[in-house]
Amino acid sequence: MLILQADRDSLLKPLQAVTGIVERRHTLPILSNVLLESKDGQTKLLATDLEIQINTAGPESQAGDFRITTNAKKFQDILRALPDSALVSLDWADNRLTLRAGKSRFALQTLPAEDFPLMNVGSDVSATFSLTQETFKTMLSQVQYSMAVQDIRYYLNGLLMQVEGNQLRLVATDGHRLAYAASQIEAELPKTEVILPRKTVLELFKLLNNPSESITVELLDNQVRFQCNGTTIVSKVIDGKFPDFNRVIPLDNDKIFLVSRTQLLGALERAAILANEKFRGARLFLQPGLLSVVCSNNEQEEAREELEIAYQGGELEVGFNIGYLMDVLRNIHSDDMQLAFGDANRSTLFTMPNNPNFKYIVMPMRI
């Protein structure tokens, strides 16, 4: 039975939108599959790992209603390998999905759609708001690199999303550094916050590819739903108490100066070549008119970079994980960065000039 005929891209693009969450090896084999269903001529593709669920609209079908599941990665790899202009037809018979394109033919196993587990999506919406995809993607890029990776403090393996009044705030921290981004939204909401899992954040970031279009965010009971570009992501949230980010923002650092973001990033990238591979330490020396970056390693090799800066305060030597410094400079798109130092034991604050909506705090390290 012919169930679908479409050009390659109209199948591949929606498939790519959902398959990022599919695990190759799963305790439930059917969770390695994607669900294809058609109702009244409109097809839909859906994938889930039972923590996140993504569904999106597919090409139109003239073959009537159907529901099947097949291996998501194999299906995607086949479509990717076909020529761009290929016309793809899908036939389904005897629990096999046959994909044809030109002189190519692939027979894939299917599993019963009725066995495909779907998340129970809550119906009570506690808060809803919209903003442009460009704004949201910029905010995510400014903070997501600070999320922890497999930290025992599970609530750090994600990102805090907080709404209050007409402001949206995103915060991420791994305990050594913290990134904060804020933006105004056209809403007036009570203070509500959720912790988005790391995997959800990364999938969401990939989805935001129409800058001028909007994304709608709905906070549900222990879940959050995102809708844009004909795609819906529903995700569980992390149950835990996120640290009070306001307490770690240093307010009285008095050694303040501006520096070119690209010049500082270039200096750090060059110096990092000779940094200790295990500890990744860099020493920063601050003195009137000059910022120096020094890295050394166990082979007695040393790199020194010097930047002229407009600074006339006291001298300071402080050590950092050089990766933490490069992360912020690579993900912020401002010509200049403002750095505010305290002493060798105090966190340093990175901000953008005349922009109160971004802050990055990094703790020093002993070198």
pLDDT tens readout for residues 251-280: 999 999 999 999 999 999 999 999 999 999
- 202 pLDDT band, cuts 50/70/90, is very high
pLDDT tens profile 41-82:
899 999 999 999 999 999 988 888 999 999 999 999 999 999
pLDDT at 112 over 90: yes
Cβ neighbours, 10 Å, residue 170:
21
DSSP strand pairing (223-228 vs 214-219): antiparallel
pLDDT tens profile 139-151:
999 999 999 999 9
Q: What Cα–Cα distance (Å) separates residue 109 from each residue in 30, 33, 91, 92?
A: 11, 10, 12, 10
pLDDT at 25 over 80: no
Q: Taking a C-beta distance cutoff of 8 angstroms, is the pair 177, 324 a contact?
A: yes
| pLDDT in the model for residue 27 | 82
| pLDDT in the model for residue 122 | 87
- 94 pLDDT band, cuts 50/70/90, is very high
| pLDDT in the model for residue 176 | 96
pLDDT tens profile 70-81:
999 999 999 999
- 365 pLDDT band, cuts 50/70/90, is very high
* Percentage of residues of the chain with pLDDT beyond 90: 94
| pLDDT in the model for residue 218 | 97
DSSP strand pairing (255-260 vs 231-236): unpaired
Q: List the domains of the chain with CATH numbers.
A: 1-113 (3.10.150.10), 124-245 (3.10.150.10), 253-360 (3.10.150.10)
| Separation of alpha carbons 245 and 361, rounded Å | 10
Q: Taking a C-beta distance cutoff of 8 angstroms, is the pair 249, 240 a contact?
A: no
| pLDDT in the model for residue 123 | 87
Going by C-alpha positions, the residue among 333, 131, 126, 141 that lies closest to residue 237 is 126
Going by C-alpha positions, the residue among 235, 168, 225 that lies closest to residue 196 is 235
Question: Quick one: tokens of 275?
Answer: 């940094």
Sheet holding 348-352, edge to edge: 158-173, 177-197, 355-362, 348-352, 336-341, 255-260
| Separation of alpha carbons 300 and 74, rounded Å | 50
- 198 pLDDT band, cuts 50/70/90, is very high
| pLDDT in the model for residue 64 | 85
* Three-state SS sequence of 160-193: EEEEEEEEEEEEEECCCEEEEEEEEEEEEEEEEE
| pLDDT in the model for residue 199 | 95
pLDDT tens profile 163-179:
999 999 999 999 999 99
Q: Taking a C-beta distance cutoff of 8 angstroms, is the pair 303, 295 a contact?
A: yes
